[in-house]
Amino acid sequence: MRRRDLLRAGPALIMARQSRAAALAGYEPAARKLIAAALEDAAGWAKLEHICDRIGPRLSGSKALEQAIEWCAETMRREGLENVSTPRVMVPVWVRGSESAWMLEPRTAPLAMLGLGGSVGTPPEGITAEALCVESFEELDRLGEERVRGRIIVYNQPWRGYRETVAYRSAGASRAARLGARAVLVRSVTPASLRTPHTGSLNYAADAPRIPAAAISIEDALMIRRLQEAGVRVTVKLQMEARTLDDAPSANVIGEITGRERPEEVVVMGGHIDSWDVGQGAQDDASGCVATWQAVQLVKSLGLRPRRTLRVCLWTNEENGLRGGRAYRDWAGDAVRHHVAAIEMDGGAEKLRGFGLSMSGAPAGAFEQALARLEEIAALMRPLGAVEIVRGGGGADILPLMREGVPGIAHLSSGRRYFEWHHTQADTLDKIDRREFQEHIAALAVLGYVLADMEERLAEEVHSTGGIG
């Protein structure tokens, strides 16, 4: 809350906030212990190394994902987390298969490509057609069906941030298919490239034919555009064996420290255990899984048992289905109303920035109160440097909980280079700085412990009707 708003609110609210701040100051010894333990911790890095180097990419439906789930659950049990379970989740199974893209005219050259998740494949002989490059959906629509029909559309959209640019990956195939395109190649959704293609999910519209879709590197998209602008015909051959199989069983991984006084009230934190089938899924999202898991583990190791239950959940199938998050909400059932907060780390493990808060259906006053409490908790993290608390947060896996009124907290890193590695072969362990990773564990441990232990909840109970109870 801004100082002028606080002054406007009156002496009673000022005194209440001062009282809360004094109470939270009592957590300084525990916070110092958690931060010191995290900055000396080696076990978290060892877990991250195991998942990345020994298990590797973990696409839903793969043996590697199930190996990771089994290993994480076994390790949680061995380390003494309580109520470890692996509730079943049925997940989609998409298989990449062999794939390639070649420019045949004006010369023969391979294109750096990765099929988009969920894409259909080409015929066995592939698709060979003239490439038609556009830089926006508006340009595509201006060309119309007469120009687009029978061609391979190449989207050379410029980077304008992930939220805006990803629309070409998710919706580009159907937009082009409605005009008769045979396939699409999408410039990778990234601000920078070393001829590195980025995969990710597409979404087929119900009212359009399903055509093959792949990502190509920035460099190759720019080359095709230059040739087209010079009046040179570009012919491309695309071959993809991609296919979707029947759903397969997977699971979320859950472990916890049971609360000493209010075990029914829960603070849950986690990341998603699945990844794309390229790279190691290190930043996205082994780092989030292990940092949140290790944060809970350090609370246990230091003998700190909070009032409420502190739970870690490693959600499955975030990348191409979001079924793990929905399954967790169903698994929680009516107990979802007793969730005090849900925290998700799914933005990589670059330099710690802070946390963002969202509260669906909460009155402004309740939100401001919760924001102030988070700022007071962040003050306990001073040894880590400035920890920012911002408006707006959450995550794909905790969204089903947030829709029920559970306060959603996003873990925030600097994200300076995150989208250079995102969904690529380059998302590997070497991209994570060990000290920065330890700082994430420290901040999450302090946040999780204090939220689970402080006398009052982060916010008053919010029901699915959108009101405060």
The amino acid present at 190, given as its one-letter code, is: T
Q: Is 18 exposed, middle or buried (0-12, 13-18, 19+ CB in 10 A)?
A: exposed
Angle between helices 287-301 and 28-40 (to 10 degrees): 120
Q: How far apart are CA 112 and CA 91, in angstroms?
A: 29
Q: In this structure, what token pair is assigned to residue 164?
A: 């805006």
Q: In this structure, what token pair is assigned to residue 265?
A: 């009230």
Strand ranges inside 38-172, DSSP E: 82-85, 88-95, 99-105, 109-110, 113-115, 127-134, 152-155
187 Rama sector, left if φ>0, alpha if ψ -120 to 50, beta otherwise: beta
Q: Is 19 exposed, middle or buried (0-12, 13-18, 19+ CB in 10 A)?
A: exposed
- Annotated catalytic residue within 99, 318, 368, 439: 318
Residue-wise DSSP of 229-281:
HTT---EEEEEE--EEEEEEEEE-EEEEE--SSEEEEEEEEEEE----SSS--
What DSSP character marks residue 76?
A: H
Q: Is 318 a catalytic residue?
A: yes
Buried b (16+ CB within 10 A) or exposed e, 251-267: bbbbbbbebeebbebbb
The amino acid present at 269, given as its one-letter code, is: M
CA dihedral 407, 200, 423, 416 (to 10 degrees): -50
User: Bridge-partner residues for 344, per DSSP?
Assistant: 270, 410
| Distances 7 to 3, 4, 350, 363 between C-alpha atoms, Å | 6, 5, 37, 19
Q: Is 397 exposed, middle or buried (0-12, 13-18, 19+ CB in 10 A)?
A: buried
Q: How far apart are CA 449 and CA 459, in angstroms?
A: 16
Quote the radius of gyration of the chain (alpha carbons, Å): 24
Length of the chain (residues): 469
Half-sphere exposure of 431 (CA within 13 A, CB side): 26
Q: In this structure, what token pair is assigned to residue 257?
A: 């420290």
- Catalytic center residues: 318
